[in-house]
Amino acid sequence: MRKVLYCLLLTALVMMVSCGTHKTAAYGDRESVIVEYAQDGVYIVQCRGRATKQDVLETARYAAMDAAKKRALHDVIFKILVCRNMDQKTLKPILLEVNAERKYETYFLDFFSKNGDWEKYVNRSGSRVKATHFSKTRDEMVVDMYVDVDRAALAQKLKDDGILK
């Protein structure tokens, strides 16, 4: 009788432990948000980047910062962004064409590559006191930061390259 009771208790304990939610990330995804219009087509964007399974803290930090910058550029090109603290409620994407990301996939793979031109159009914003927040979890490095995106120059580049018509 005792063996049966122990087996039932052990089974119940295993079921209770395995039914819980398993969190793999400290932070969920956050949409990029336009914080303010700086000047001459430059927008300050709040964005989040991630770097996964990096052994060295500094390498992970820079990889996550680069991921945040790329995400900000990607969102300015392809997504409608919400404008916080501005009269305008949303900002239209540069490319309004449906499935533009798939249509010009090779172009954007080259653009966002390690040696691509993407770094010319985004910089870490110096206008915020607490510009970056780092959080290292067991699996990833998460970075929240403010970046300056030169939307006007980016749109001109896409026009010159024949992507934006």
**What is the structure's pLDDT at 16?**
63
Residue 93 lies inside a defined structural domain of this protein? yes
Average pLDDT value for the chain:
80
Distance CA 145, CA 143 (A): 6
> What is the total count of domains within the chain?
1
Confidence class for position 137, pLDDT limits 50, 70, 90: low
Residue 152 lies inside a defined structural domain of this protein? yes
pTM of the model: 0.75
Residue 20 lies inside a defined structural domain of this protein? no
Residue 113 lies inside a defined structural domain of this protein? yes
**What is the structure's pLDDT at 130?**
40
**What is the structure's pLDDT at 129?**
33
Residue 18 lies inside a defined structural domain of this protein? no
**What is the structure's pLDDT at 161?**
93
Residue 78 lies inside a defined structural domain of this protein? yes
Residue 63 lies inside a defined structural domain of this protein? yes
Domain with 114 in it: 26-160
Predicted confidence (pLDDT) per residue in 62-113, tens digit = 888 889 999 999 999 999 998 887 676 888 999 998 899 999 999 999 999 9
pLDDT greater at residue 12 or residue 102: 102
Q: How far is CA 122 from CA 34, 61, 77, in A?
A: 13, 17, 12
Residue 6 lies inside a defined structural domain of this protein? no
